[in-house]
Chains A and B, each alone.
Chain A
Amino acid sequence: MTKYIIRRLLQTIPVLLGVSILVFSLMFLIPGDPAQVMAGEGASEQTVENLREKLGLNDPAYVQYGRFLGNALQGDLGNSVRSGRPVMDEIQARFWITVEVAVYATILAVFIGLIAGIISAVRHYTLTDVSIMIIALFGLSMPNFWLGLLLIQWFALGNLPFGWDLPEILKMRPSGWGDSWRQIILPVITLGTGGAAIIARMTRSSMLEVIGQDYIRTARAKGVSERIVIYRHALKNALIPVVTVIGLEFGGFLGGAVLTETIFAINGMGRLTIDAIRQRDFPVVQGTVLVISLLFVIVNLLVDISYKFLNKRIDLN
């Protein structure tokens, strides 16, 4: 087990190297001179040249990459062009906000998705099943930005359809981040809905497949109650593909919170990235993409390790 984890960690090195090359190339993939773009339209020749010198853009590409990588390994992702602060500090300030939203959204998605999926599978082809799957299809199809705006319209502004009144208890109008659960609930719902839908569908199909297996019949033939058949015998077998989806969703929430954070004005990593892109703050863009990639790699590693606990047939070595 330890051996496997060490090996997997070593395997992430080439992945991260690849990511770092891509991230580094971002600078050069953008049309025009990065220094000129960063300095802005009206900047003087001298300003641009100074900036180019400061960023080391006059060096050959491999020297620049070597420097970028060497610094990154020491936790130095350069300084923001706009604020002048180290990129690492900028990220640290926003990182936990994004993680918090992503964790809650994952919990919501897993909780609702698993329960809905299991109910759907146990009552397959009944009205309950069809209703759950139709709702899941809606959840899956709804774009985040639209759902977010809709929730704001309804629960923050109180503009319910048909002229209904919104009870005071359901009003979600936060005064700022860190205020209360009222400010986190709408973004979490926005982010978690799609995930819940995907997990519900995955759980349903996985459970249906498992319920038809011979060992489920064996469990029933032993005199085991239906509840234990479902939760002990079937669910553990059905969870493997579901865990993969959960991992991917969590990774997606971390990296893909851009829209949600923008809509709800949350100062997370997504907002940081968007603002940096808008302001041509390349070091920040590189830094955020690198950190999000690293997180994705770690989440996937955790998913792979969890397989071993779920299915003893998987030989990690």
Chain B
Amino acid sequence: MNEMESILVVNNLQTSFGTEAGEVRAVDGVSFTVPKGKTIGIVGESGSGKSITSLSILRLLASNGKTKGGEVLFKGKDLLKLSEKAMREIRGNQISMIFQEPMTSLNPVYTVGQQISETIKIHKKLGNKEAMSQSVEMLKLVGIPSPEKRVKQYPHELSGGMRQRVMIAMALACDPEILIADEPTTALDVTIQAQILELIKDLQNRLGMSVIMITHDLGVVAETCDYVAVMYAGQVVEYSDVRTLFKNPKHPYTLGLLNSLPRHDVDQEKLIPIKGMVPSPHEMPVGCRFAPRCPVATELCHKKQPDLLSTGGDNSEQIRCWMYSEEWDGESEVTLYGEKRTVKG
């Protein structure tokens, strides 16, 4: 993919948090590209840094968090260098975000209409009345029945699914070019999950925006994403298009994730968990961060950290693993869905 069609480029992003136990590097050199009109998934376990990555893009980190390096190029402008005022004009307007917890993400003391129209009033400089009628339109767009009535209601009068729809309406009120969805369905019932994902996809097709889908659920990735970045311990370990990722995963961590997933199209004796635990941010391994849990790790893996290598010809596939480098001297066989396959370095 070339730079022309990408709307957001994240380059070597580094985000740290000051804690009582010292500085914690939650995001360490994350890079990925968001193509225009496409959906990129950022997938990883809890604590892998995926939410922090998305908050770093919009500069919404908690006060003890700080982006220490890298760049976030939105249409060529580095968001990390913008003034707070310029950043505010982008938030909710050109780049919007929806969050994991629809139950607590809306302000309890204002009506749904007041909250949606606030965004419209700030960015489109419209009056109360027009903003409110646009809010009704937005509620209609996200499929909320009798929006004229709902617009006057308070969040506590709506169900979780409805509230997430309101969040989406609010996020899309100003026609953003990018929607960041941070685990938008995690807190919802399975049936509602499917509806919300369907809605996001449908609106994306209609409005032509790009979506950054942050999730720990590979099912959500398979359903919604065009490209995927797999994150582990604050780093991207694999980046590819979604077909390649599921058909021909490369990183041992990605393989582990897929092997631990139940499938209905393949016979599985049992699910294979990834042994061990995600390393504590205070005690990151010196070498590859996945090495302590990796079934094929060699001495090299424990000693030296691998770089993100391009394996596809045009940056379309990237991987952070020694197995795919020329220095590799370990075994070259991995297991996927119970089958052995050979890796070419």
Contacts and interface: CB of A to CB of B under 8 A. Distances in A.
Interface of A: 213-215, 217-226, 233, 236-237, 310-313
B60 A222 contact: no
B109 A218 contact: no
Interface residues of B, number: 27
Contact of B93 (A218, A223, A311): A223
A220 B170 CA distance: 13
A225 to B, nearest CB: 6
Given A214-B101, A312-B154, A220 B108 contact: no
Interface string B109-151: 1000000001100110000000000000000000000000000
7 contacts: A214-B101, A215-B105, A217-B60, A219-B107, A222-B91, A223-B90, A224-B122
Given A214-B99, A312-B156, A223 B107 contact: no
A225 B119 CA distance: 11
Contacts of B58: 221
Nearest to A233: B107
A222 B58 CA distance: 10
B109 A237 contact: yes
A237 B108 contact: yes
B35 interface: no
Q: Which of B60, B107, B118, B123 has the most CB of A within 10 A?
A: B107
Contacts of B119: 222-223
B95 to A, nearest CB: 9
A223 B89 contact: yes
Nearest to B167: A218
Given A223-B88, A224-B122, A218 B154 contact: no
B156 A218 contact: no
A221 B91 contact: yes
B170 A214 contact: no
Given A218-B106, A311-B109, A312-B109, A225 B99 contact: no
A221 B106 contact: no
Closest 10 CB pairs of A and B: A222-B92, A223-B92, A223-B91, A214-B104, A215-B107, A221-B97, A214-B105, A312-B154, A223-B88, A222-B119
Contacts of A233: 107
B204 interface: no
Contacts of B170: 218, 222
A236 B109 contact: yes
B107 A237 contact: yes
Interface in B60-109: 60, 84, 88-93, 96-97, 99, 101, 104-109
B118 A218 contact: no
Contacts of A221: 58, 60, 91-92, 96-97, 99
A237 B97 CA distance: 22
Given A221-B97, A224-B118, 20 more contacts: A213-B104, A214-B101, A214-B105, A215-B104, A217-B99, A218-B107, A218-B167, A221-B60, A221-B92, A223-B91, A223-B93, A223-B119, A223-B122, A224-B122, A225-B88, A236-B109, A237-B108, A311-B108, A312-B108, A312-B109
Nearest to B55: A217
Contacts of A310: 109
Nearest to A315: B156
A226 B101 CA distance: 22
A90 B90 CA distance: 66
Contacts of B105: 214-215, 217-218
A313 B90 contact: no
A192 to B, nearest CB: 28
Interface in B148-173: 154, 156, 167, 170
